[in-house]
Chain A
Amino acid sequence: MDSPAPITAEPAGAGLALRRIRKAFGPIVALDGIDLDVKSGEFLTILGPSGSGKTTLLKIVAGFELPEGGDVLLGGEDMTFTIPARRNVGMVFQNYALFPNMDVRGNIAFPLEVRRMPRAEIDGRVATALELVDLEGYERRFPRQLSGGQQQRVALARAIVFGPRLLLLDEPFGALDRKLREAMQLEVRRLQRRLGLTTVFITHDQEEALILSDRIAVMHRGRIEQVALPRELYERPANAFVADFVGESNLLFGRIAAMRDGRVEIAFENDLRLTARAEMPVGTRVGALIRPERLHLTGAGAQSANRLSGEVIETVYVGTSHKYRVRFRDGTEFLVRVRDTASQASVEIGASLSFDVAPEDVHVFRHDEAAA
């Protein structure tokens, strides 16, 4: 745990536990039994496409929506039906929600005035918060006189100045341009670590989730598909949705044809066979994920169990690497990402190429077709 920062009245953040949270809007089930634990001081991202229920979940944690079933526990205390004002939760809204009728100081002092703090303490805390977000000297500016990034800093300062037990971030980076977004992401992460704030961050941007999070919960259709470390999520997704949603992916579906020595052979519909490092009974329906960067151009004379060949139908140069779209005889298309090097021979559209993939780079997961 980090050393307690002067701004937090309580030592660091509290742990959050969600139990069987259910919420429906009319016939539409927005949240279908959500169980989630966020550890004290952890930065957890809820990642999901729009309509997956992540915003509803955040509103339930903040108290702006009430669940139809389940419990919200903050620091072990039942908060399910506590009014938002009593939850001590800081939130940064998507559009920042700064009070346009108050200047920067007024905005940041607001939660402190509400708590009837003495004037001197308010001044001290506002100064500390402004320093934390690097906005000293902006006290008298109004929100409309600030840039998007500055507004976001004010929103962040306002959300942490009163020492909340939990910080909620609702897609706060969406409106910023790429450079600023990356800078703000790092700044938020630095601040969060320094204050030891338990943080729940919502986004639909998987790259953002991978960069920022201690752990990521992937949401889809009101359910949590997987909760994992960023790397685990990328390399070992639990199912096809996660594999497809997080990062670029090549997905194939088939059955386990053979198993021996901790390896399985998977047979796909298109006669293709791949070997993967996994242990699953023969006959299991599985999905196989191969990340585009794990495919390598076949070297001269190399031997490989997993060789794929086809025709290049599209090439894209993306600076650090080349992306090829390759079509196999049966029409299946694969994405391949090859690092750009000086010695790299240029690949023409229409060229026939073959690629190798190591068995440990083929990730296998159970795939029940009815569930997909």
Chain B
Amino acid sequence: MNAVTASAHRPGGSPAVVERRRQHVLAALALPALALLAVLFAYPVLRLMALSVEGGTLAWYAKALGESLYLEVFWITLRIALIVTLTTLLLSYPVAYFLATTTRLGAALGFALVILPLWTSILVRTYAWMVLLGRNGIVNKSLIALGVVDEPLALLHNELGVIIGMVHVLMPYTVLPIYAGMRRVDPDLLQAAEGLGAGTFRIFRRVFLPLSAQGIYAGCILVFVLSVGFFITPALLGGGRVIMIAVLIEQQVRDVLNWSFASALATVLLVATIAIYGLAQRATRGHAGGAT
């Protein structure tokens, strides 16, 4: 007891005080960013959400969640987001594996190819897909020239076109986390598995895949959340015929000037996204419990 009292009188203060002071300093470092977020993000979002209940009514929410037309839009959005997420994962995993296992040079070139599109405007990339996928686009012309099909395929202004475009735009967001997850796998573990008699497939199934799963979850959640709210690509490649939730919101604001309904839709989207994110987090934590 004496020792404790004595230490409290030392110039530096007790360990608890020192620790608390250190925490305050660290918290202060985050203040500028927090202030910026508060002014430029939190405030506008809250203002927008307030619009949805203007006049003290929940009628706009009733409309968003009650009318089958709008429920259909939510359903389409969810379906496209799921398909995009799965397709992106299937395409990204081999790419990430290549990057994680190849030589330095191979990895550098591969990374350039993965990241370069990120530096190009989404708008440019989406227009490029319009050129490629149109009735007279390169894809259809080539297919007809090769005699694979007689009639041009409908690749644009439908779900397929939207999915193709979104997968392309979103792929880097899965490649990078999956790659990071793979790099964290200790190569000794793979050797150990091999030495214990396991074949390539079993090493992959039992050791590599579970240990790199964190990256898969992270990438999938990221892509799914981005997909659900995606606007530019669905708007352009869907050509007004594939209505995803973000496209609907934009229509409400720009064409119908119904800010309150747009705000209600946006709030529903936000809540749904947060809910899905939370569920996914919980599920992956349970799943990846063994891995550290």
Contact = CB atoms under 8 A, between A and B. Distances in A.
Contacts of B197: 85-86, 88, 111, 114-115, 162
A283 B290 CA distance: 69
A195 B292 CA distance: 34
A86 B189 CA distance: 17
B268 to A, nearest CB: 38
Interface residues of A, number: 28
A110 B193 contact: yes
Contacts of B291: 100-101
B195 interface: yes
Contacts of A101: 207, 210-211, 290-291
Interface stretch (B75-83, B113-121, B198-206): B198-206
A102 B206 CA distance: 9
B196 interface: yes
A141 to B, nearest CB: 11
Contacts of A355: none
A84 B194 contact: yes
Given A99-B207, A100-B291, A64 B198 contact: no
Given A97-B186, A101-B207, A114-B202, A84 B290 contact: no
**Which secondary structure dominates where chain A touches chain B?**
loop
A7 interface: no
A298 to B, nearest CB: 55
A328 B189 CA distance: 54
A62 to B, nearest CB: 6
Interface in A26-51: none
Contacts of A110: 193, 196, 198, 206
A91 B198 contact: no
B290 A111 contact: no
A85 B211 CA distance: 21
Contacts of A102: 206, 290
Interface in B189-234: 189, 191-199, 202, 206-207, 210-211
A95 B198 contact: no
Contacts, number: 71
B188 interface: yes
B96 to A, nearest CB: 19
B210 A64 contact: no
A99 B195 contact: no
Contact of B191 (A97, A111, A158): A97
A13 B130 CA distance: 68
Contacts of B199: 85, 114
A86 to B, nearest CB: 8
Residue picked from B193, B197, B198, B290, most chain A C-beta under 10 Å: B197
B104 to A, nearest CB: 15
A103 interface: yes
B70 to A, nearest CB: 43
A88 to B, nearest CB: 7
A107 to B, nearest CB: 9
A93 interface: yes
A281 to B, nearest CB: 51
Contacts of B188: 93, 95, 97
A25 to B, nearest CB: 15
Contacts of B196: 85, 90, 110-111, 114, 158, 162
B211 A97 contact: no
A86 B196 CA distance: 9
A138 interface: no
Interface string A61-105: 011100000000000000000011111111101010101111100
Contact of B292 (A83, A89, A144, A162): A144
A142 interface: yes
B195 A64 contact: yes
A62 B292 CA distance: 27
A144 B207 CA distance: 16
Nearest to A89: B195
Contact of A62 (B186, B195, B210): B195
Interface string B93-119: 000000000000000000000000000
Given A101-B211, A162-B196, A162-B197, A142 B191 contact: no
Residue picked from B194, B196, B197, most chain A C-beta under 10 Å: B196
A85 B291 CA distance: 24
Interface in B143-196: 186, 188-189, 191-196
A142 B291 CA distance: 9
Contacts of B210: 101
A191 B99 CA distance: 43
A253 to B, nearest CB: 43
A44 B247 CA distance: 72
B189 A114 contact: no
A93 B189 CA distance: 9
27 contacts: A62-B195, A63-B195, A64-B191, A64-B195, A83-B194, A85-B194, A86-B197, A87-B195, A90-B195, A90-B196, A97-B186, A97-B191, A99-B192, A99-B207, A99-B211, A100-B189, A100-B211, A100-B291, A101-B210, A101-B211, A101-B290, A102-B206, A111-B196, A111-B197, A114-B197, A142-B290, A158-B196
Given A63-B195, A85-B194, A101-B207, 7 more contacts: A85-B198, A97-B192, A99-B211, A100-B189, A102-B206, A115-B197, A162-B196
Can you list the 7 inter-chain pairs with the closest CB atoms, starting with the nearest? A111-B196, A97-B192, A101-B290, A97-B188, A101-B210, A114-B197, A84-B194
Interface of A: 62-64, 83-91, 93, 95, 97, 99-103, 110-111, 114-115, 142, 144, 158, 162
